[in-house]
Amino acid sequence: DTAVSQTPKYLVTQMGNDKSIKCEQNLGHDTMYWYKQDSKKFLKIMFSYNNKELIINETVPNRFSPKSPDKAHLNLHINSLELGDSAVYFCASSFSTDTQYFGPGTRLTVL
């Protein structure tokens, strides 16, 4: 009964492809997030989303788009993948600004 789950765990793809990463939380949280962690371990928030609003980090390219079919899911869709998109992507969820619970991460490699 994993609290925050992500699929796939590893994703290897060619430049220019479109891919999605799925995230599900079973904690009943009202807010979900996507983070990108680069090779230097720096964590960059990409999106913050609850049922009221989507907050987008303005530095995130519009090739990245979050899609939320319901409160328990926040998927990340990436168009026209580039080499620089290679990173580990973490999904997280929380009640408001209380503790965030993180998924195990998805390691994306763009060739």
Residue 41 CB, nearest distance to other proteins (Å)? 5
Q: Which is nearer to other proteins, 73 or 95 (CB)?
A: 95
Number of residues that bind other proteins (CB under 8 A): 25
Q: Give CA–CA dist 20/69, Å, rounded.
A: 14
Task: Kindly identify the residues of this chain, within the stretch 14-73, that bind other proteins according to CB under 8 A.
Answer: 31, 33, 35, 41-43, 45, 48, 50, 52-53, 55
Q: Which listed range, 16-24, 62-70, 73-81, 96-104, lies at the site for other proteins (CB under 8 A)? A: 96-104
Q: Please give the sequence-ordered ranges of beta strands (E in DSSP) within the chain, or none if there are none.
A: 4-7, 10-13, 19-25, 31-37, 43-50, 54-56, 64-67, 75-78, 87-94, 101-102, 106-110
